[in-house]
Structure 1
Amino acid sequence: MIAMQYSFVLPADYDMTVIDRRIREKGPLLDGFPCLRFKAYLAARKQGAGVPGTENLYAPFYLWDEPAGVDGFLSSPGFAAVTRDFGWPSVQTWLVWHADLTADLKAATHATREVVPIAAYSDLAAHRDGAIVDAGSAIEAGALAAVAAFDPTRWSSVKFTLWPKLPTVSTETMQLYTVGHVSLPKEG
């Protein structure tokens, strides 16, 4: 599996209802997209959720079953439309160590994402094992999804979690988002 995210930083005075409307209108278009495990349509508001330092962001997060899904989406008219409207983003990808997904992903209202560096010569197996334990702990704490992954190009790890209600933001490196829609594979 591959985790993927791109992010658009929007001006401080940007009318975020434009993003909310875009998510409502465009979100269902990716329901059933080939090789997609889920796409969480995410936004953050500069003045939102009581988190200091937050920027206005549109930052969807994807979990793909295989690379063909990444290519299929990034080569699609939908991605071309996003880049036309918001610019050419840097697309971050991570190789997935572990993903816990519950059946209620559509009930997600918030997400957290934390990217942390992996020090040179680290014990990657220990990082992976710790990330798997953390993902399980998040599910036990009520998370609807917990993804643990790493990027061996930048030597960083990511913890991404979907929540059914506003979670506690535990560190300054954790980004909090609202979830406008979650696209899932076709049923059956």
Structure 2
Amino acid sequence: MHAMQYEITLPADYDMGIIRERVATRGHLLDDFPGLGLKAYLVRERGDASPVDQYAPFYLWATPEGMNSFLWGPGFQGIVNDFGRPVVQHWTGLSYEEGPASVAVPGTATRRRTPLGEGVPPGEAVADAVARHAREARRNGVVASALAIDPRHWELLTFTLWAGTEAPADEGERFRVLHLSAPGRGRLGAGRQW
């Protein structure tokens, strides 16, 4: 599993209806994309627990071939054509869990970044994080959750989809889910990814 996200921060006076329309008319195009586990079409809006207006799709790839096909093909080129080439953040997958609300349509997503301490052995820190992630994914309202790591910056990433429109306040950055494409969600596996 590979996690990927790009963030397009928009001007304060940008009409977010344009993004909603974009997702409404194009979101279905990845509903059967080969190699894609899931794509959450995410937005944040100023004044709604966010300092910025932002379009920030989040992907979990079941295969690297799927991710490469998207990045080097017409899908990502559409983003580049409309918004310029954004920085694509990428994390190696550590764990994926379906939550108790797995059949619900997610309305909210959270992203939490946690740096690994300098003095902690990486293997120990990752093992602890995977165990904690398995427990957290069993909380009420969790649709699905992924744990990943950026070994360049030694930062853990927890991405969680929540049923409904509210997520716990202490879960990190919050996003609204406009659409979920999940053609390979069942191929993401469960639990630890090695």
TM-score (norm 2): 0.86
- 2:90 partner amino acid: T
Moved more, 148-157 or 127-136: 127-136
Q: CA deviation at 1:20?
A: 0.9
Unaligned runs of 5+ in 1: none
**2:101 is the alignment partner of 1:135:** no
Aligned position for 1:62? 59
- 1:136 partner amino acid: A
Matches within 5 A, 1:39-188: 39-48=39-48, 51=49, 53-102=50-99, 104=102, 107-141=105-139, 142-165=141-164, 166-170=166-170, 174-185=172-183
Q: Report Cα offsets for 1:56-75 as digits up to 9, x if no partner.
A: 11000000112111110001
Q: CA deviation at 1:42?
A: 0.3
Judge conservation of contact 1:105–1:162 (CA < 8 Å) in 2.
no
Moved over 4 A (4+): none
Q: CA deviation at 1:157?
A: 1.1
Unaligned runs of 5+ in 2: 187-194
TM-score (norm 1): 0.89
Q: CA deviation at 1:105?
A: 6.0
Judge conservation of contact 1:113–1:161 (CA < 8 Å) in 2.
yes
Where 2:137 maps in the other structure, the secondary structure is helix
User: RMSD across aligned C-alpha pairs, in angstroms?
Assistant: 2.0
Q: Distance in 2 between matches of 1:33 and 1:3?
A: 16
Q: Distance in 2 between matches of 1:105 and 1:2?
A: 23
Where 1:3 maps in the other structure, the secondary structure is strand
Q: Report Cα offsets for 1:22-66 as digits up to 9, x if no partner.
A: 111111100111111100000000112xx2x53111000000112
